[in-house]
Amino acid sequence: MTVAGDGASRRVTIVTGASRGLGRAAAYELARDGYAVALAARSLDACEEAAGEIREQGGEALAVQLDVADRESVRNAVEGVLARWGKIDVLVNNAGVVEPIGMLGELDEEAWAQNIGINLLGPFNALQAVLPTMKRNGGGTIINVSSGAAHRAIEGWSAYCSAKAGLAMLTASIATELAGEGIFVYALSPGTVDTEMQAVIRASGINPVSQIPREALTPVQIPARAIARLANIRSPELNGEEFRPDDPRLGE
């Protein structure tokens, strides 16, 4: 693990949904690049475990409990990170759920709304919480984890597709609003990645995505590395753009 400076000089990142899957893998990659990493999720124990592993390898990490759909929870988590390191340079909006999966007429209204609350309102809450400190410090980077579902309809995923389409427009909108303020906003569409979300999708048996065998899925380390690369890109020309892990603009 690369250690770049002490706790005061390191760049600081907060990763939502960091208790498992892509968020956890991204936290490891960012720590390897020398970032001080705040791992944030509803499962504090899992974040503590991951943060401990990062510290054992010479990195600096903090676990914070966070429910992205709860504004007070988000504010408290951000305040905890600021109390520890005094700044947040990078926000990775990764927390997300695919459920409920099913035909629209059969879905529970509360479950559908909860999906929107996590996948779309969650990033909005996190953005509003971190933007003041980024502006005070003269800049920052925001990475929103997108999906191919943002751009094409997928049977049984009405909530997920709607939320990710909204997140794509939120990414473009805030990139436009923040142009010239030193804050760069990107989206990453990770593809079909071998995470617990894909296990839920396979179990549903709905739509072709559920039929993809696990051995054909992308290892989680590949999009995680792409997130770490995006964290280091500060390009006005690429502001608001969406990337895939194999995008040549990410470099090696």
6, pLDDT greater than 70: no
Q: What is the pLDDT of residues 83-101, one digit of tens each?
A: 999 999 999 999 999 999 9
How far apart, in Å, are the Cα atoms of 139 and each of 22, 75, 134, 225? 25, 19, 5, 22
Q: What is the pLDDT of residues 148-157, one digit of tens each?
A: 999 999 999 9
d(CA 29, CA 212): 27
pLDDT at 173: 97
pLDDT greater at residue 218 or residue 8:
218
CB burial of residue 247 (10 Å; 0-12, 13-18, 19+): middle
Give me the domains of the chain, ranges plus CATH numbers.
Answer: 12-243 (3.40.50.720)
pLDDT at 235: 93
176, pLDDT greater than 70: yes
d(CA 77, CA 7): 18
Q: What is the pLDDT of residues 16-37, one digit of tens each?
A: 999 999 999 999 999 999 999 9
Mean pLDDT of the chain: 94
Mean pLDDT of 226-242: 96
d(CA 65, CA 36): 17
**26 closest CA partner among 234, 223, 160:** 223
> Is residue 186 flagged as an active site residue?
no
**15 closest CA partner among 4, 26, 7:** 26
